[in-house]
């Protein structure tokens, strides 16, 4: 296994200290299966209370300073005021997610709908989301479309792609300086014959046609069983078009379970590709230099300046919301730490020599390393509790919100 003691206070710890994970506002609300939504005490009733809960995750992890919002679920009267509120809590408004899938008009699609009136309605909402970005200072607009068809012949497949391209171009033209569009794809659901953005290739083609402000989002739950997601990540990195992740876990389909819960080795493999590709820019001048201690040399994998957004996209149906988000952030940290411990020089040497087992062993040495003591010490150095979940549970905040948040409508799926 990798020598954890040798990398303390080196590039690895610097990167881990600066690595940021974005939280989804909707994960703090009530959720469930298609059979039942399960309520919990203390669930936030509005976006302001969601921000307060997100701030708790950042308080105990130190690396979750942004909360993504979903419109209209997180609609407020004054978005500039909401951004100031988030800032007062020590966090910021992150990615703005558009919603063009929960309206009766969108039964046959939104921007790909054969009806021009519906397409205009959907486009107006996407442009409204850019206005919200302007008001909140958010950098990213994330677009996922439920558009597709259920039956052969239902609509013209090629024509729907033209409608999609037209809408994306209109939104792209509205983006301001420093803003970008992230296009998400999904293999199936809710449409079963065709999805209009079903895979990374379709998303990539549209983003390449649009320009440098358009990039692809990889949701780890949106693939067919057995798909090699790290291959997709590597290819998007090579193309300079990996905009971000929606991290979650799946056993069967888009399960939206906690990241790293179903297949932590997959999460490690994904982060290894990110680290190896030197995709992220180092926040401190010396952090990218290899210290000679065996870590992956020269990657700025934890920099907040990166254009790759590491966002959670999860539904906590039966587990308490805030501890689940804290645990998820910790899972990403552990996978990243292990990826940073891969001995890049030894791996390359084994690969060039065609030594299959030695190359595999290098990866497994890093993956099998227990990085929890390293991360606990790092948190202590940051002035945080070594065990974030335990510290949160002992803080009194769970009882406080359960007592105070009585009355009103708790946030939940679709609200």
CATH class of the region 9-404: alpha beta
What 8-state DSSP symbol labels residue 346?
A: H
φ and ψ at residue 349, rounded to 5 degrees: -60, -45
So what's the pLDDT on residue 163? 98
Find the range with the poorest average confidence among 37-46, 108-117, 293-302: 293-302
- Pairing status of strand 194-195 against strand 148-149: antiparallel
Say yes or no to pLDDT of 293 above 70. Answer: no
What 8-state DSSP symbol labels residue 389?
A: H
First-to-last C-alpha distance (Å) of the chain:
47
Say yes or no to pLDDT of 168 above 60. Answer: yes
So what's the pLDDT on residue 290? 30
Say yes or no to pLDDT of 94 above 80. Answer: yes
- What residue segments make up the domains of the chain, in order of their start? 9-404
3-state percent breakdown (helix, strand, coil) of the chain, nearest 5: 45, 15, 45
Find the range with the poorest average confidence among 277-286, 288-297, 406-415: 288-297
Contact 321, 28 (CB under 8 A): yes
Quick one: which of 414, 411, 415 has its CA closest to 29? Answer: 411
Say yes or no to pLDDT of 56 above 90. Answer: yes
- Predicted confidence band at 42 (pLDDT cuts at 50, 70, 90)? very high
What 8-state DSSP symbol labels residue 61?
A: H
Quick one: which of 151, 184, 148, 143 has its CA closest to 167? Answer: 143
So what's the pLDDT on residue 276? 87
């Amino acid at each position: 296994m990798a020598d954890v003691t040798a990398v303390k206070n080196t590039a690895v710890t610097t990167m881990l200290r600066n690595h940021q994970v974005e939280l989804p506002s909707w994960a703090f609300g009530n959720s469930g299966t298609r059979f039942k939504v399960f309520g919990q005490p203390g669930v936030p009733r509005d976006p302001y209370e969601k921000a307060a809960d997100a701030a708790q995750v950042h308080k105990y992890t130190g690396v979750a300073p942004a909360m993504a919002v979903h419109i209209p679920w997180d609609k407020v009267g004054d978005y500039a005021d909401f951004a100031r509120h988030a800032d007062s809590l020590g966090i910021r408004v992150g990615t703005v997610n558009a919603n063009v899938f929960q309206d009766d008009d969108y039964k046959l699609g939104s921007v790909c709908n054969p009806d021009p009136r519906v397409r205009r309605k959907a486009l107006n909402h996407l442009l409204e989301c850019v206005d919200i970005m302007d008001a909140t200072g958010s950098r990213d607009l994330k677009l996922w479309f439920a558009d597709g068809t259920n039956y052969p012949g239902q609509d013209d497949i090629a024509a729907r792609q033209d409608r999609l391209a037209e809408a994306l171009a209109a939104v792209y033209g509205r983006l301001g300086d420093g803003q970008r569009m992230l296009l998400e794809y999904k293999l199936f659901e809710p449409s079963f014959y065709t999805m209009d953005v079903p895979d990374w290739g379709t998303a990539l083609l549209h983003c390449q046609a649009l320009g440098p402000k358009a990039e692809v989002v990889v949701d780890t739950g949106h693939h067919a069983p057995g798909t090699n997601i790290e291959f997709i990540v590597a290819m998007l990195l090579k193309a300079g078009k990996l905009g971000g992740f929606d991290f979650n876990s799946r056993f069967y389909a888009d399960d939206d379970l906690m990241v790293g819960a179903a297949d932590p080795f997959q999460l490690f493999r994904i982060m290894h590709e990110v680290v190896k590709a030197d995709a992220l820019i180092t926040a401190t001048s010396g952090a990218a230099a290899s210290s000679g201690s065996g870590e992956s040399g020269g990657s700025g994998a934890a920099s907040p300046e990166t254009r790759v957004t590491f966002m959670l996209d999860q539904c906590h149906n039966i587990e308490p919301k805030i501890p689940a988000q804290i645990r998820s952030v910790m899972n990403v940290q552990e996978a990243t730490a292990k990826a940073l411990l891969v001995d890049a020089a030894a791996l390359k040497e084994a690969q060039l020599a065609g030594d299959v087992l030695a190359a595999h062993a290098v990866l497994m040495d890093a993956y099998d390393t227990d990085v929890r003591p390293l991360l606990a010490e790092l948190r202590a150095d940051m002035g945080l509790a070594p065990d974030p979940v335990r510290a949160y549970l002992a803080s009194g905040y769970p009882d406080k919100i359960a007592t105070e948040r009585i009355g009103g409508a708790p946030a939940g799926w679709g609200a």
